[in-house]
């Protein structure tokens, strides 16, 4: 959902949706607090959904591209780790 989406009206009398969250870092669609054990529950996409499949395929394709260049990447961060510049060493550490 977009960051400016409004909370939709609830069709069940006496009930209301809590809020709308825009967080591209999570894979769940909704969450709620269960009334029996007071635990937070999540609703997620099915593993075979086309949306999740596209996301997984994109990650696989990115990993395949990185695999072709892994030796260059490793040489690059190892060189950076030996640098005299603190900033360059930190970049090498982040890459590692």
pTM of the model: 0.39
Q: What is the pLDDT along the chain (96 residues), one digit of tens a residue?
A: 566 778 888 888 988 887 777 777 777 778 888 888 889 888 877 767 676 667 778 888 888 888 888 889 899 999 999 999 999 999 999 988
Alpha carbons 45 and 47: distance in angstroms, whole number: 6
Here the tokens at position 30 are 């909704």
Alpha carbons 32 and 18: distance in angstroms, whole number: 9
Per-residue HEC secondary structure of 29-95 comes to: EEEEECCCCCCEEEEECCCCCHHHHHHHHHHHHHHHHHHHCHHHHHHHHHHHHCCCCHHHHHHHHHH
Alpha carbons 56 and 62: distance in angstroms, whole number: 10
Here the tokens at position 94 are 């982040």
């Amino acid at each position: 959902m977009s960051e400016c989406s409004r909370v939709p009206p609830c069709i069940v009398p006496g009930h209301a949706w809590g809020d709308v969250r825009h967080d591209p870092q999570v894979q769940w669609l909704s969450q709620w607090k269960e009334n029996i054990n007071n635990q937070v529950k999540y609703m997620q996409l099915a593993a075979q959904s086309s949306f999740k499949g596209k996301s997984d395929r994109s990650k696989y394709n990115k990993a395949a591209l990185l695999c072709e260049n892994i030796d260059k990447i490793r040489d690059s961060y190892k060189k950076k780790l030996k640098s005299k510049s603190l900033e360059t060493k930190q970049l090498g550490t982040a890459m590692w």
